[in-house]
Amino acid sequence: MGWLLAALLCTAPPAQAATGQPNIVLVLMDNLGYGEPGVYGGGITRGAATPRIDALAQQGTRLTNFNVEAQCTPSRAALMTGRYAVRTGNGSVPLDTPLYGLTQWEVTIAEALSAKGYATAAYGKWHLGHTEGRFPTDQGFDEWYGIPNSSDESYWSGNPLVDGKAVHPYARPEYLMEGRKGADPKQVKVYDLEQRALIDGELTRRGIDFMRRQSQAGKPFFLYLPLTQPHYPTLPGPEFKGKTGNGDFADVLAQTDAYVGRLIDAVDQIGQRDNTIFIFTSDNGPEMFLPNIGSSGPWRGTYFTGLEGSLRVPFILRWPGKVPAGTVSNEIVHEMDVFPTLARWTGAEVPKDRVIDGVDQGDFLLGKAQKSGREGFVVYVGNEIYGIKWRNWKMMSKEVGTGYGEPVRSYGVPLFYNLLTDPKEEHAADPRVLENFWVRFPAVQVLTEHMKSLKQEPPVRPGTPDPYRPAQ
């Protein structure tokens, strides 16, 4: 009978299934525009079908009005903290100092989940600090493998045009790094163009290994997988090079779909399908640089703008038996809402000693409420306010076209756009027309409340060193 008891113990469900603590897999793409996956109008029209991502959308809920900040670092800061990036000093990356990122006073979703007994891992691009005390393992993650900054730094290694001594510390060879909580991360290998093509495959492999380890240990896990594609240079790995016959960008799209599929399969294979919240999204709008221009779908613009193409990105969430399958919503949700929503679902605590801009969207995403918990938000580009988005309207005081090479235009009288009738924001509604001018009241109210909160809690200055404590 001893062998029978052993077999039963080996097949017993993991411990977290009994505690009600769901696992979380958060896949964050880098510069993946709204119009790239097939289920958002891309896929074969972009040169590569995305059957696994499309199937994921059918298994859960898909948002068509999920909004982010306009650049990589601000977006990641908002996602991790549930706060506007300007609050944490990360509205942009300061160019006059290497010190940037989250101060240790900030509380990340990883720290909140770790306090609830979760195993936490980040595999991929961090872009929230590259100096002592600013790495993922300083911000609640048990383990990390990836790059501290961005993939364009892979151009620098061996490039004779780069004089690292002249422009240090930025134009130096960047490294893939690895670390664990409580120890300084170590440089593993130079992040050059060869590694740039290989990195997402390695990140996916490590993510799958992490999930298997934690499932076997019976511990709930939070896997944050900020993949690096399709940020330039957009280079597919050897397995996918030439696979579509439609160029590197299409090959990378096919690669991304395959990697997402492998992650989904791994969740199912370890017996955690029904107990895992699986999220697929992007940090900001599409790539703007040749030769791999991204697609914003029905919207206009790329990242670094306040246009819808910059702000709206794919968002798909699967939680079998909890989130209704096959649902689509155009209700406004912001990436800042992810923290309080996941905190509620997992029993983690949201900090009460600071302003949290995110709202709990739990009931809405579970299908218990028809409306989102928010009606609008303030549109930032860098540290500057460009306007307000409210319901299907935008009231914009600044505007930039493509995001590259076009000047920023400021308007004494704001421009109003009805996104239902003018999704590309090409025909501003005349504010002197009374039927449009009413929008200023709810829009200004969003801005007024935000400005009050900035006075209540002054933002962290960019480049602020640790230790940081708020003045009040």
The residues assigned a catalytic role are: 72, 127
Would you call 23 helix, strand, or coil by DSSP? strand
Q: Are 380 and 70 in contact (CB under 8 A)?
A: yes
The phi and psi torsions of 198 (rounded to 5 degrees) equal -95, -20
**Residue of 329, 307, 413 whose CA lies nearest to 374:** 329
**Tokens linked to 363:** 């009931």
In whole angstroms, what is the distance from residue 64 CA to residue 316 CA?
9
Q: 3-class SS at 216?
A: helix
Neighbour tally for 470: CB within 10 Å: 11
Residue 461 · residue 89 · CB < 8 Å: yes
Do the Cβ atoms of 460 and 454 come closer than 8 Å?
no
Using CA atoms, how far apart are residues 378 and 15, in angstroms rounded to an integer? 42
Whole-angstrom distance, CA of residue 159 vs CA of residue 146? 22
- What is the β-pairing status of strands 376-381 and 384-390? antiparallel
H-helix or E-strand spanning residue 67: strand 66-67
Q: Could you give the count of Cα atoms lying within 13 Å of 83 in the half-sphere of its Cβ? A: 27
- 291: preceding bond cis by omega (within 30 degrees): yes
